Structure 1
Amino acid sequence: MHYEDTGRGDAVLLLPGWAGSIAEFGWLRGELSEGFRVVAADLPGSGRSQPQPREYSVDFYAEDARTFLALLDELGIAAVHLVGFSDGGEVALLMAALDPARVLSVVTWGAAGRVVEPAAGPTFDQLERLIDEPVHELLPLAAYLAEAYGVLTARAMARNWATALRGIAARGGDVARAHAASIRCPALLIAGSDDVFCPPYLVKELADAIPGARYDEFEGAGHDLHRSAAGRFTATLDDWLSLH
């Protein structure tokens, strides 16, 4: 598990998305480290965390949630804010449900607590073949994966991940949705209005199911709204963490 621990103050665990890296959040980590202890960690099988390529089971989100709770134990962190993007957000939501006494608050974007095959976005089959036959909207992701991991590893990563997602969807799609009532901390779920990977209506449904949760939708933003709406996103996150 690759992680970096910087700053001082209340702890924040920052989790990037699938195949992403904490390196892409350097600017955010730097800002948060001025007032918080920031533990930024690559998801298993992504960034500089092993194994690569990873074999994803249909329970990999829960497995990762338990892995990161164990990391917090190892670091002696008894109370933490969770900040997660996409798959990192799904893991953060599960962590908040599994260990509610530890979590001070949770902020996610591009996460909905469910896996469904997008009606207007890339299918599981297209995700599985994204290295060799990328559709137009997946070209940037395919190029990034090939450069970051090499073609052979990237091909296996995409195939294994898509197969697991298909399996999760086939059994009902639940990731954290069934555990929503167990999330007792303040929760902020952010969606991009143009997110084809994680449609806003799914994020809103989960927010409505979590007691007291807040839902925020960024108009004109897509899945990676921390890039396309960086200013608004950073201000929203700063205000949230300061409040809680």
Structure 2
Amino acid sequence: MAWHGREGQRIHYQDDGRGDTVVLLPGWGGSVIELNQLRSELADGFRIVAVDLPGSGRSQPQPRHYTAGYYLQDAQTLLGLLDELGVGAAHLVGFSDGGEDALLMAALRPARVLSTVTWGAAGRIVASRELLDGLTCLVDKPIEPLLTLAAYLVEAYGVEPARIMARSWSEAMSAIIDAGGDISRSQASSITCPTLLIAGTDDPFCPPALVREMADAIPRGKFLEVPGGGHELHRSHARWLASTIAHWLGDH
């Protein structure tokens, strides 16, 4: 299904099941298909609205040109989708950029969010110059930590669209970091719902210390660290992650 949002956006989503609504958000450049195992684990007892982020998966526009304000734009777009679907309040479950959007949505509209679960998200962006430079030339000269991402983007979007996406995303990240790196960290006290932030010990993009700091700043925040885990816990620790999220949602 698709919803036509602001300024030519076409947001792809899948809406299945019955019960309290769970909004499932994949990461930058990703697709809801990557979270199918998690979706199936949560399908019993919940309405699952799985959404491709603007410019990713089957959502348009593509290739997307990212700006420093894209997190706020995306959070507002996703809240607009909830309005369109008649969802008054929902649980938000997100990975990486999807997790950042979930935290920002919870800060912007506390009454709309029942609980939040994220992995690979911290409310703030911190990245080395090497990593940012690596994103700029991701398609043509990928550095070792980004080899998998580069291969995925080229396969999913094609060489030139992937090149445009990566370059503009790198520029947006640089602008955000130059401004202090804040996404929702400064608004953490406004996130009033129960919030679980999960981080892998070996996550190169979202270090556990940064995630713990965000969890501590949220009034009802909780932090979990996964020993040996990296960024994509839905791949490396799929069963554990699905079970943990299912229990969290059941308790809230």
Q: Secondary structure at the match of 1:185?
A: coil
- The partner residue of 1:215 within 207, 223, 233 is 223
Partner of residue 189, structure 1: 197
Partner of residue 99, structure 2: 89
TM-score, structure 1 as length reference: 0.97
Q: Distance in 2 between matches of 1:194 and 1:152?
A: 31
1:210 is aligned with what amino acid? I
> Contact 2:118/2:197 (CA < 8 Å) preserved in 1?
yes
CA-to-partner distance for each residue in 1:191-214, whole Å, 9 max, x for gaps? 000000111111000001000210
The 5 Å alignment of 1:1-244 reads: 1-118=11-128, 123-244=131-252
TM-score, structure 2 as length reference: 0.94
> Contact 1:118/1:197 (CA < 8 Å) preserved in 2?
no
Q: Secondary structure at the match of 1:2?
A: strand
1:152 is aligned with what amino acid? E
Q: Distance in 1 between matches of 2:238 and 2:37?
A: 10
> Contact 1:87/1:111 (CA < 8 Å) preserved in 2?
yes
CA-to-partner distance for each residue in 1:98-132, whole Å, 9 max, x for gaps? 1101100000000011111148xx51110111100
Cα RMSD for the two superposed structures: 0.9
Q: Secondary structure at the match of 1:107?
A: strand
- Unpaired runs of 5+ residues, structure 2, are 1-10
Partner of residue 7, structure 2: none
Q: Distance in 2 between matches of 1:140 and 1:203?
A: 23
- Unpaired runs of 5+ residues, structure 1, are none
CA-to-partner distance for each residue in 1:28-55, whole Å, 9 max, x for gaps? 1122111100000000000000111111
Aligned length: 242
Q: Distance in 2 between matches of 1:101 and 1:118?
A: 36
> Contact 2:118/2:196 (CA < 8 Å) preserved in 1?
yes
